[in-house]
């Protein structure tokens, strides 16, 4: 099926199946896209297609389906819960606003970043608790700046680790690279610390925990596991993040400065399958000894 689309967001649905599949039409989108239809829930991602593109549908429902492609013009001017709660300014201005305890809402898809520090234990042993603690706090300053500069929001800190969310995966990747470079350029003991990071993209649930808005779900669990696979001064990406169009464009533009490693691994808590992951590292950054 040949499509001639205006730029914007669309929904593909049928009269017999619940929900729908969302598409975004715009420059740089895929020239062709293949979409399977089943009796199960539609996939939650939003692929980007070119304005002149070809749509191939695979009907696996066992029934004839009437398909409707709708232009969702109103969403071009609207924001989702995922977009609002992923803005640092929203949290700064409305820090007291939270969901009723026990209330859960789906906020759509977010890029979730977890980071931790490699070398902090040695730093505490070498310099003492007070000095090391000050250096760890300074590393948070680099992270906060990088996250804010790339339209993300710092959700929480956990010891030496942080969790942050972004509306677009490419912003999360750029924030990590910026923070890693700032940390490597720092003087003294701080420059000997190495930032570990992992990013995943997918649906999340917002809840109120300890009087603040927090996120839960398999996407968050996966991002935390990816950070655990990081070695320091590198970044582990899930396949969905690595395959994002904007991320792919960024990595292509910086390919000469990157080391990229493909690997397959079993992930604790997700034993039902093996995962294909990517490890990225800027070539000029020092690696942990």
Residue of higher predicted confidence among 37 and 210: 37
Task: Using a pLDDT cut of 70, give the percent of the chain over it.
Answer: 87
Beta bridge partners of 73: none
CA distances from 16 to 12, 13, 21, 69, 101 (A): 12, 9, 14, 14, 36
Lowest pLDDT segment from 34-43, 84-93, 176-185, 253-262: 84-93
Is a pLDDT exceeding 60 seen at residue 201? Answer: yes
Rg, C-alpha atoms of the chain: 21
Is a pLDDT exceeding 80 seen at residue 122? Answer: yes
Q: Kindly write down the DSSP assignment for every residue of 76-115, as one continuous string.
A: GG---HHHHHT-HHHHHH-TT--PPTT--EEEEEEEEEEE
179-196 pLDDT, tens digit each: 999 999 988 778 788 999
Lowest pLDDT segment from 22-26, 174-178, 199-203: 22-26
At 97 the pLDDT is 62
In angstroms, how far is CA 109 from the centroid of its own chain?
8
At 45, the pLDDT band (50, 70, 90 cuts) reads confident
Residue 244 is classified by DSSP as: -
CA distance 145 to 186: 14
Residue 186 is classified by DSSP as: -
Closest CA to 2 of 57, 47, 71: 57
At 284 the pLDDT is 93
Place of tokens 């409305």: 94
Asked whether 39 and 61 are in contact (CB, 8 A), the reply is yes
At 27 the pLDDT is 83
In angstroms, how far is CA 191 from the centroid of its own chain?
26
At 19 the pLDDT is 76
In degrees, rounded to 5, the angle at the alpha carbon of residue 240 between the alpha carbons of residues 249 and 196 is: 85
95-106 pLDDT, tens digit each: 556 556 666 666
Domains of the chain and CATH, by start = 2-77 (no CATH), 81-282 (3.30.70.1230)
């Amino acid at each position: 099926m040949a499509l001639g689309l205006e730029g914007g967001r669309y929904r593909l649905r049928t009269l017999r199946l619940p929900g729908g599949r969302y598409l975004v039409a715009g420059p740089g989108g895929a020239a062709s896209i293949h979409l399977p239809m089943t009796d199960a829930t539609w996939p939650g991602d939003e692929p980007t297609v070119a304005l002149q593109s070809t749509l191939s549908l695979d009907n696996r429902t066992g029934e004839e389906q009437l398909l409707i492609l709708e232009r969702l013009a109103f969403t071009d001017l609207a924001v989702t819960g995922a977009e609002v709660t992923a803005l640092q300014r929203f949290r700064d201005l409305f820090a007291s606003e939270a969901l009723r305890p026990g209330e859960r809402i789906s906020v759509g898809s977010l890029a979730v970043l977890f980071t931790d520090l490699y070398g902090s234990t040695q730093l505490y042993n070498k310099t003492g608790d007070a000095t090391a603690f000050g250096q760890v706090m300074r590393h948070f300053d680099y992270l906060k700046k990088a996250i804010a500069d790339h339209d993300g929001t710092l959700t929480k800190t956990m010891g030496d680790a942080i969790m942050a969310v972004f509306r677009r995966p490419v912003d999360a990747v750029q924030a990590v690279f910026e923070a890693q470079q700032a940390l490597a350029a720092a003087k003294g003991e701080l420059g000997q610390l190495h930032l570990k990071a992992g990013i995943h993209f997918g649906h999340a649930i917002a809840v109120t925990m300890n009087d603040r808005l927090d996120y839960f779900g398999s996407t968050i669990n996966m991002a935390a596991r990816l950070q655990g696979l990081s070695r320091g001064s590198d970044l582990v990406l899930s396949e969905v993040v690595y395959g994002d169009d904007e991320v792919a464009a960024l990595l292509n533009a910086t390919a000469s400065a990157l080391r990229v490693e493909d690997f397959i691994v079993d992930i604790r808590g997700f034993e039902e399958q093996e995962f294909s992951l990517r490890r990225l590292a800027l070539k000029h950054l020092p690696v942990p000894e």
